Amino acid sequence: MTRSMQAVVPQHATLVPPLGSKPAGQTPEGIPLHRLIQRRTRSVPDIDEKTGKQRWALHPQNNMPLIPLRKPEEYISDELFFIESDGQFNINKIPYAFPTDEQIAAEKRAKGIAELKDSLAETLYDRGMTGADLVALAAKGPAEPEAVAEDPEEDELLEALKAEADGGLPKGPSEPGAPSY
């Protein structure tokens, strides 16, 4: 008789941050953040200072470029992360970056739209409207504003105010050869 493997129950380890890391606040969700600053090295191309080109190891027999040379470079690594257990006694560092202003605004907008949809649906339902009523209302199109009759007295008043603002001076010469102001 064969045995089938049963589902493995997750085994979570105690969340202990890496050595040398320091508490760095928490996320908006309340997850503790840690910062780890370390000196590290990385491999970078070895550039010849005279020519500005990549240096190569040459083939011993024909002096042709064979292997590009690299050199170590030290740098300071600054990591901001939170830790979580994967359920198999492993603790993982998850990189974290605080949300930007644009991300916060987009999140706030999405939340506002969701609330607006809910409140709109509740209001329409409370007023007894159905989906068909809403579709019929949308098919009518936007309501057109009422036409407003223009008042000729307002036009005369506007022209008088404009003339006062100009200082009552004529806009151009009234006769040929007359001086302009």
> Per-residue pLDDT tens for 61-96?
999 999 999 999 999 999 999 999 988 888 999 999
Q: Is this prediction's pTM over 0.85?
A: no
What's the angle, vertex CA 156, arms to CA 153 and CA 161, rounded to 5? 125
Closest to 94 in 3D by CA, of 108, 84, 107, 105: 84
Question: Domain coordinates of the chain in residue numbers?
Answer: 22-97, 103-140
**What tens digit of pLDDT does each residue of 113-131 get?**
888 888 888 888 888 888 8
**What tens digit of pLDDT does each residue of 161-171 get?**
777 776 655 55
Q: Mean pLDDT, the chain, as a whole number?
A: 84
Distances (CA, A) of 129 to 92, 99, 122, 139: 52, 40, 10, 15
Determine what percent of the chain is predicted with pLDDT higher than 90. 44
